[in-house]
Structure 1
Amino acid sequence: MENDSPRVYGIGNPLIDIIAQVNDQELDRLGIHKGAMHLIDEKRREELLTHIENKKLEYSCGGSCPNTIITLASLGIKATLAGKVGNDEFGKIYKDRLTSLGVSDELEDCPEPTGSSIILITPDSERTMNTYLGANRFYAKQDICENTLAQADYFHFTGYMWDTTSQKSAIKHAIKIAKSNGVTITFDIADPFAVGRNRDEFLNLISEHADVVFANSEEARILFENYDPYECCKSMGKLCDTAIVKNGKMGSFISHKRKLIRIPVQGPVTPTDTTGAGDVYAAGFLYGLCRNRSIEEAGYIASLLAGEIIQQRGAQLNKEKADKIRSNLEQTYPL
C-alpha cells in the first residue's frame, strides 16, 4: 500500500453544526422528539433558526462519519472523507477546516446549499439533531474516488447514508469496491429512526457485507426486538465478525467471533454533552484496529475517547486535548 493511502476511508454527510441550549418545554412547543435525529426541509430549518436566533450559538464541522474521520486524523491516523457540499461559504469553510485538521478531502461540490444540523441541547445534556441534508442528498456513486477507496484498510459509513436513494446507491457501489480489494467494512448504524425505516435492509447489510458494526442500545433494541443490550450484541455477533453495542453509562458489549467482552465506561457518569459520543467511540475502536491492538484493547480505547468527548461541548476534541490523548495512547499501546 502506498504511504499516502488512507488507513480509513469514510463516506458521510458533511454538515455545519449549529448548536444551541434549550429546555424541554421548548422542544415540546416545537414538536420535536427528544434525543433523535430529525430530517428537516428548508422551511423547517428556517423555523428553527428563527427560534434560536437570539440564543448563544456555536458552529462547528459535523456529521456522524465526519466526526469519526476527524477524530482519527487528530490522533495521527491517515483518514479521508468523501461526501458532497455546496458551492457556498459553508462548503468552503468545511473544506478549509478539514485541511487544518489533517483530513484528506474528497468532497465534491454541487449547486445545492451545504448541509446543516441544528443541535438542540437540553439541561440533561441530551442532544436532539435537526438535519437539513442539502447537498448531501446528491452524493452519487460517480462521486467516489475508487482508487483511493481501494487502497484503504477500512471503509467506514453510517446508517444516515440510507436517507436518499442516491446516497444508498453510492454506498452499495463503495461496498463492492471495498470487498473486491480486501478493505474491511465498518458500519455505524448511528440513529434509531434509521433502523426503523430500514430494519430489514440493515440486517441484510450486517450479515452479508459488514465486518464491524456499531450500534447503541436503542438501535440494537429495534434491530433485534430485544431490550437486553447483551442479548442484542450476541444476536448481532452471529451476523458479523465484530459487533459492538454501546450502553451509555453502563459501558459497552463487544462480540468478536462470537466471544462476548464487556467494556466498562471510561469517564464521568454525568456527561456535559453527549454530542458525537458514538462517533468518537467508533474512532477510538478504529484507532485500536489501525494500531494492531486486540479487540478488547480497541474497546477500551473507544470507551476512553467517548469518556473524554462527553466532558466537553461539541463532537470533536480540541487540538491540545487530542495531542495529549494521542501521546498517552502511543505510550500505552506502542506499535
Structure 2
Amino acid sequence: MAKRAASYPVIVGGHICLDIIPSIQGGPFQMVPGKLLNIGEAALSTGGAVANTGLALHRLGIPVQLMGKVGNDFFGEAILSILKKQHESLAEGMIVADGEPSSYSIVINPPHVDRMFLHCTGANDTFQAEDITEEALQEAGLFHFGYPPLMRRMYEHNGAELSRLMQKAKEAGATTSMDMAKPDPDAKAGQIDWQRLLAEVLPYVDLFLPSIEEILYMLRRETYEAMKESHGSEQLIEHVEASLLAELSSELLAMGAAIVVFKLGEHGLYLRTTSEAARLENTGRCGLGDDAAGWLNRELYAPCFKVEVAGTTGAGDCTIAGFLSGFLQGLQPEETLLGAVGTGACNVERPDAVSGIPSWADVQARIAAGWEAYPPNPSFAEARIQLQMNAAVWQGTRDLEMTNESVKGTKKL
C-alpha cells in the first residue's frame, strides 16, 4: 500500500487553449491565396498543461482543480464544455475574464507534411498571481504550473510575476511543481534571459519537470543552436550525452529546485535530486518530510515501455501526471518513475491527449504483469543509473504493492 493517500486536492494552473483540428485527407495540400480548399469536419479538443496534465490526473484518480484562464466568448464556452464532459467539477475553478479572448490553435495537419500551427495566446497572456486565490492554495496539497513561456505576464520583467506566483504557493504550504514549454525564438519569450529567470523562480519550485530540449535552449542557448545546425533538427535527444544531463540537472538543483526531471521523449525520463536533506524535507504539504531519505541525492533513468504508438499529443504532460501521482502517494523514486513512463505509454496508444489514460491501479497492474520496456539509451550508459528499467527484472527494490485488490497476486517486480 502507498505510504500516504493523495487526500489533498491538486491545483493545475497555467496555459489552456482550444485546439481546432480540421480533417485534411487525400493528395497534395498547398495553401494558395484565393483558392478554395475542400477539407473535412474539424475536431475540437482542449490543449495546454491545464487540460492535458489536469485531465490525466483526474483519470488516474487524483483529486484535481483546474485553474486556467479563458474569455467569456464562444471558444471559452467550448473549453469549459469539454472539461465538464470529463466531470462537472473540473470547470468550477476555471478563471473567466470578461472582455478577453480565449486562447486557441488551428492545427493544420495534412498527410505527409509536418504539422503547422496558428496560435492565439489570448487570456493566457494576462494570467497573474492574483488569479490563484490564497484560499485555494491553503487548501491545496500540490500546486502545478505549466507552460509559463507561452504566457506573457509570466515571463516579462524577468519572470517577476511567475516568481510571485510560485512564492505565494510555497508560502501557503503547498508542494510546488512546474513544467515548461520551448520559447519561440522569434518572439519576445525567445529573447528572455531564461537562466536568470529560473534562478529567481526555482527556489520556490519543489519539482521541476521540463523537456531536455526546453532546458538546453534556456541554459545552453549556444550549444542548442550548434546542435540544431549540426544535426538539422530541433529533435536533439538522440544526440544528448549523459554528462550533459548531469550538468544541466546539477545547475538547476543549485538554483534551488529539490527534484529535477527531464522528459526525454521516446527515450523516457531522467531524474536528479538534491543532496540537501533539509531542502527535500521542505517540500510542502504533500512533500517528503520524514520520508526524504529514499529520494536524497538520486540519479535515475527510465526508458519507455513498449506500445503501439497512435499519437504523441500530450505525452509529456501525461507523463508528468503519472510522476505527480506517484509522488503524491508517497512512492519511492523508482516506483514513481515507473508510474510516470507507464502513464505516458498509455497516452500514446491513442491519437488524442488524454483518452488513453486509465486509472492508476490499471497502470500499476500492467507494470506488475511484466510490461516490457525498451532497452536503455546507450548514450546514458555511463550515468550513475541506479534503476535498471525492465519491468520484469527490477533489481534491488522492494515489491511493488498494488492499491487495487483485484490485481494482488500478480507477478511482483
TM-score scaled by structure 1?
Answer: 0.78
Aligned match for 2:72, one of 51, 74, 87: 87
Letter in 2 for 1:245: F
Residue in structure 2 matched with residue 155 of structure 1 by the alignment: 143
Query: Which secondary structure state, in structure 2, belongs to the residue aligned with residue 221 of structure 1?
Result: helix
Contact 1:68 1:280 in 2 (8 A): yes
Cα distance in 1, alignment partners of residues 322 and 133 from structure 2:
25
Cα distance in 2, alignment partners of residues 237 and 74 from structure 1:
30
Aligned match for 2:346, one of 303, 308, 312: 308
Query: Which secondary structure state, in structure 2, belongs to the residue aligned with residue 61 of structure 1?
Result: strand
Residue in structure 1 matched with residue 48 of structure 2 by the alignment: 63
Structure 1 or 2: more strand by fraction: 1
Judge which range, 110-119 or 196-205, deviates more: 196-205
TM-superposed CA distance for 1:11, in Å, is: 1.4
Cα distance in 2, alignment partners of residues 91 and 129 from structure 1:
19
Query: Which secondary structure state, in structure 2, belongs to the residue aligned with residue 243 of structure 1?
Result: strand
Distance 1:307 1:170, change over 3 A: same
Judge which range, 213-222 or 73-82, deviates more: 213-222
Letter in 1 for 2:121: L
Distance 1:117 1:288, change over 3 A: same
TM-superposed CA distance for 1:278, in Å, is: 0.8
TM-superposed CA distance for 1:316, in Å, is: 1.4
Cα distance in 2, alignment partners of residues 86 and 207 from structure 1:
30
Residue in structure 2 matched with residue 78 of structure 1 by the alignment: 63
Matched, 1:231 2:243: yes
Aligned match for 2:205, one of 204, 210, 227: 210
Cα distance in 2, alignment partners of residues 263 and 166 from structure 1:
31
Contact 1:285 1:301 in 2 (8 A): yes
Aligned match for 1:242, one of 259, 269, 282: 259
Contact 2:195 2:219 in 1 (8 A): no
Letter in 1 for 2:77: K
Residue in structure 2 matched with residue 14 of structure 1 by the alignment: 16
Q: Deviations over 1:115-140 (max 9, x none)?
A: 11223446679755432112222223
TM-superposed CA distance for 1:307, in Å, is: 1.2
Contiguous gaps of at least 5 residues in structure 1: 31-46
Distance 1:127 1:206, change over 3 A: farther
Cα distance in 2, alignment partners of residues 138 and 327 from structure 1:
38
Query: Which secondary structure state, in structure 2, belongs to the residue aligned with residue 266 of structure 1?
Result: coil
Distance 1:261 1:121, change over 3 A: farther
Matched, 1:134 2:122: yes
Contact 1:252 1:264 in 2 (8 A): yes
TM-superposed CA distance for 1:261, in Å, is: 0.5
State how many pairs are aligned. Answer: 309
Letter in 1 for 2:270: F
Letter in 2 for 1:183: A
Cα distance in 2, alignment partners of residues 193 and 136 from structure 1:
16
Contact 2:6 2:62 in 1 (8 A): no
Judge which range, 90-99 or 4-13, deviates more: 4-13
Contact 2:105 2:118 in 1 (8 A): yes
Q: What percent identity do the matched residue pairs reach? A: 24
Cα distance in 2, alignment partners of residues 275 and 97 from structure 1:
17
Give the structure, 1 or 2, with the largest relative contact order (CA under 8 Å, sep 6 or more).
1
TM-superposed CA distance for 1:188, in Å, is: 0.8
TM-score scaled by structure 2?
Answer: 0.65
Aligned match for 2:362, one of 309, 318, 328: 328
TM-superposed CA distance for 1:279, in Å, is: 0.7
**Larger CA Rg, structure 1 vs 2:** 2
Aligned match for 1:189, one of 175, 180, 188: 180
Contiguous gaps of at least 5 residues in structure 2: 224-238, 275-296, 369-400, 404-413
Residue in structure 1 matched with residue 214 of structure 2 by the alignment: 219
Cα distance in 2, alignment partners of residues 51 and 304 from structure 1:
44
Cα distance in 1, alignment partners of residues 86 and 304 from structure 2:
28
What's the RMSD between the two structures over aligned residues?
A: 3.4
